[in-house]
Amino acid sequence: MSAALPSLDALYRAELKAVYAFLWRLGARESEMEDLAHDVFVTAARRLSTFDASRPARPWLLGIAFRVFSDARKKLRPTEDVSEAQEDTRPGPDDSVARRQAQRILMRALAPLPEERRVAFVLHELEGLSVNEVSEVMEAPAPTTYSRLKLAREEVAQALQRFHLEETRKGGAR
């Protein structure tokens, strides 16, 4: 017996915050978040009949969000900067200064990564998807996903180490 398809309204209410957070982590700018999220759910509405209701909806929606974000990036004019510094626009109350600072540092570390590595890292490390789910979302073989994750982890670790050294030098120069 197959599970019933969820309503678009139910998906929207349950997953909108997750879609916003995922788009932000991919590097979406505040000015485009609403349009991108809208496009994700419009696409989901068109494809709802293809959704396998026996599986979780979030990986399916994040796959759509990845493609919507990727398509939007391809349409940018070359003069538009996709790695501009971002304000923390994630939904939800988060008043911790240290947490916001850590998020900004992580976003700085993720920004220069090639899109495929950044998406694999965000989906696996921040969204908690399994490697198989990431592979499915990105329509890539599992070995490719493992490779992207390994490289992304190395590059993020190197970037974080550089940021730490910069801060140490600034602190020592005072």
pLDDT digits (tens, 9 = 90+) for 33-80: 999 999 999 999 999 888 888 888 899 999 999 999 988 888 865 544
pLDDT for res 83: 46
Q: Which pTM does this prediction carry?
A: 0.67
Let me know if 27 is exposed, middle or buried by CB neighbors in 10 A (0-12, 13-18, 19+): buried
Residue 72 lies in a domain: yes
Higher pLDDT, residue 119 or 95: 119
Residue 60 lies in a domain: yes
CATH number at residue 147: 1.20.140.160
Residue 132 lies in a domain: yes
The residue segments making up the domain with residue 132 are 8-172
pLDDT for res 173: 57
pLDDT for res 85: 40
**Which secondary structure element, helix H or strand E, spans residue 132, and what is its range?**
helix 131-138
Residue 1 lies in a domain: no
Residue 124 lies in a domain: yes
Residue 3 lies in a domain: no
pLDDT digits (tens, 9 = 90+) for 6-18: 888 888 999 999 9
In sequence order, which residues have a C-beta less than 8 Å from that of residue 4 and are 6 or more positions away? 53
Residue 2 lies in a domain: no
Amino acid present at 59: P
Structural domain total, the chain: 1
Under 8 Å between Cβ of 94 and 88: yes
Residue 134 lies in a domain: yes
